[in-house]
Amino acid sequence: MSKTIPVQKNDYIEAVFEDLTHDGAGVAKVDGYPIFVQGGLPEEKAKIKVIKTNKGYAIGKLIEILERSHFRVDIAKQDAHKYGGCQIEHISYEGQLKYKENMVRQVLTRIGKLEDVKVHTILGMEHPWHYRNKAQVPVGEKDGKLIAGFFKQRTHEIVDTNESLIQLPEINEAVQTVKEICSELRIPAYQEESHKGVIRHIMARYGKTTGELMVVLVTRTGEIPFKEKLVEQIIASLPQVKSIVHNVNSKRTNVILGDKTKLLWGNEVIYDYIGDVKFAISARSFYQVNPDQTKVLYEKALEYADLSGEENVIDAYCGIGTISLFLAQKARKVFGVEIVPEAIEDAKRNAELNGITNAEFAVGEAETVIPKWYKEGNNADVLVVDPPRKGCDERLLNTIIEMRPKKVVYVSCNPATLARDLRILEDGGYKTVEVQPVDMFPQTTHVECCALIELIK
């Protein structure tokens, strides 16, 4: 006999939140049945409206907070969490760090069955606002004027926003300025329903250490009306701009960038530094959006690698060579692999830019290339992985277990897949020594980790 659901749709109930989900929703329970409510915080008592039920859980709406958490803060200038920007900005920064650190501990125990792993205190930011060095902002029209901002949650309705509290001020200024210039020149916004119009997205990238700005105009059409005036006015209004790029995306798609990119003015790249390493950043380059915390994360990876200058290092999922080039400063040789050809070209260019000659890069799947290297006798003393959110491919994990490098340094953007992969490595003869969480994305639910894994002698 199936268990009766203790609440019904449209019920109003009072409950105390016990926990937070991975996406920052409060968890309340009625007779053990969970109700997930955006905006609720642990230990708060609240009035909730049940808006959806199913066998395993319900979704609720926060109606009134009856007893307030000491971690709750009043949202400053905008309800950005409603628009997919800042899901947990209603939690004090102290509370955010506690939530993220607890989340890492919980998934390591629950998913990885790793009860005895040392999890260090999370490394947060001194100023956890205005940190993002890149924006990709959708453009629309309202009352005859261009608007640009966030998509309202679970919709394609654009909410016009003049300022994002997590973007660098220079990024906010660039997006707002380009939006106003396009509006004044009456360049039409893209209309998703009819697949007409011109401007789809405004992208801005900023080198925090160099002060260099790139503007990317993403359009449906191959040409931009009033292109010369547009470029002229952007240059006049944004003195720090070094590159203006046009990307054409003529497809009906949610993917932001199209296949065709052309330079309208200036340089094809801007530059930035992480520590002492210089990086060239193109319109399509993957480059971490929080360079201050990236330095913290990569320094931890370098510390865990503990290189003496004699080691061969393999960097799986190397991207544009960010971690590889950090490691190359201390290693005998670094071999990087990445599936995106453009990223490997960037990695080679960045090695040359820094005069680094002991790093080699190859295009391909890490789970295909690294086993091939191993069969050819190219072994690794230290292996570094920085996979996407889905974690490491099982073939790569099996190759690591077969190769038996002395150390694995695992940089992760998803604690759940990190815990899963650590369990596989532990079952294959490795020991997870310690995990260091790093807050790369304040005001959001995301957390990065760096884990040190050693071969059991």
Tokens at residue 216, please? 């990317």
Q: Are residues 117 and 190 in the same domain?
A: no
Q: Are residues 62 and 146 in the same domain?
A: no
User: Domain holding 50: CATH number?
Assistant: 2.40.50.140
Q: Are residues 340 and 434 in the same domain?
A: yes
Mean pLDDT, the chain, rounded, equals 93
Helix (H, G, I), strand (E, B) or coil at 143: coil
CB < 8 Å & 24+ apart, contacts of 182-185: 182/139, 182/146, 182/230, 183/145, 183/146, 185/225, 185/226, 185/229, 185/230, 185/233
Last residue of a domain, one of 231, 249, 274: 274
The Cα–Cα gap between 44 and 67 comes to 5
What is the mean pLDDT of the segment spanning 71-97?
A: 75
What is the mean pLDDT of the segment spanning 251-264?
A: 94
Instruction: Give the range among 78-82, 189-193, 313-317, 408-412 with minimum mean pLDDT.
Output: 78-82
Is 7 among the domain residues? no
Is 2 among the domain residues? no
Closest to 306 measured CA to CA, from 398, 433, 403, 425: 433
Say if residue 358's pLDDT is above 70.
yes
The Cα–Cα gap between 456 and 386 comes to 22
Tokens at residue 206, please? 């900023």
What is the mean pLDDT of the segment spanning 89-103?
A: 94
What is the mean pLDDT of the segment spanning 328-347?
A: 94
The Cα–Cα gap between 35 and 208 comes to 42
What is the mean pLDDT of the segment spanning 55-67?
A: 94
Please name the residues in contact with 413: beta carbons below 8 A apart, sequence gap of 6 or more. 388, 389, 440, 446, 448
The residue segments making up the domain with residue 226 are 134-274
Catalytic, 86? Answer no
Q: Where are the beta strands (DSSP E) in 54-185?
A: 58-67, 118-119, 134-142, 145-151, 158-160
Look at residue 3 in the predicted model and tell me its pLDDT. 66
Q: Are residues 263 and 138 in the same domain?
A: yes
User: Domain holding 245: CATH number?
Assistant: 2.40.50.1070
Number of independent structural domains in the chain: 3
- Other C-beta atoms closer than 10 Å to the C-beta of 228 total 10
Say if residue 80's pLDDT is above 60.
no
User: Domain holding 415: CATH number?
Assistant: 3.40.50.150
182, 392, 413, 450: the catalytic one is 413
The Cα–Cα gap between 211 and 272 comes to 8
Q: Which residue has the tokens 């993002």?
A: 132
* pLDDT interval class at 262 (50, 70, 90): very high
Q: Are residues 301 and 419 in the same domain?
A: yes
Q: Are residues 189 and 266 in the same domain?
A: yes
Q: Are residues 52 and 152 in the same domain?
A: no
Is 114 among the domain residues? yes
Under a CB-based contact definition with an 8 Å cutoff, are residues 144 and 189 in contact? no
Tokens at residue 198, please? 């011109």
Specify which residues 79 forms β-bridges with.
Answer: none
Look at residue 150 in the predicted model and tell me its pLDDT. 84
Q: Are residues 122 and 155 in the same domain?
A: no
Q: What percent of the chain has pLDDT over 90?
A: 83
Q: Are residues 121 and 182 in the same domain?
A: no
Q: Are residues 19 and 114 in the same domain?
A: no
The Cα–Cα gap between 436 and 457 comes to 23
Under a CB-based contact definition with an 8 Å cutoff, are residues 171 and 235 in contact? no
Is 283 among the domain residues? no
Say if residue 335's pLDDT is above 90.
yes
- Alpha-carbon torsion angle 304, 306, 312, 313, nearest 10: 20
254-259-265 Cα angle (round to 5) = 110
Look at residue 81 in the predicted model and tell me its pLDDT. 43
Q: Render pLDDT for 279-311 as a digit per residue (tens, 0 to 9).
A: 999 998 889 999 999 999 999 999 999 999 999
pTM comes to: 0.91
Q: Where are the beta strands (DSSP E) in 208-240?
A: 212-219
Say if residue 75's pLDDT is above 90.
no
Is 6 among the domain residues? no
The Cα–Cα gap between 174 and 240 comes to 10
Last residue of a domain, one of 223, 239, 274: 274
Closest to 389 measured CA to CA, from 450, 322, 446, 304: 446
Q: Render pLDDT for 385-398 as a digit per residue (tens, 0 to 9).
A: 999 999 999 999 99
What is the mean pLDDT of the segment spanning 404-418?
A: 96
Q: Torsion-angle region of residue 145: left (phi > 0), alpha (psi -120 to 50) or beta?
A: beta
Residue type (1 letter), 412: S
Count of CA atoms in the C-beta half-sphere (13 A) of 70: 2
Is 1 among the domain residues? no
Q: Are residues 303 and 445 in the same domain?
A: yes
- H/E stretch holding 33: strand 33-38
* pLDDT interval class at 85 (50, 70, 90): low
Is 279 among the domain residues? no
Is 386 among the domain residues? yes
Q: Are residues 303 and 205 in the same domain?
A: no
Say if residue 83's pLDDT is above 70.
no
The Cα–Cα gap between 39 and 52 comes to 16
Query: How long, in residues, is the chain?
Result: 457
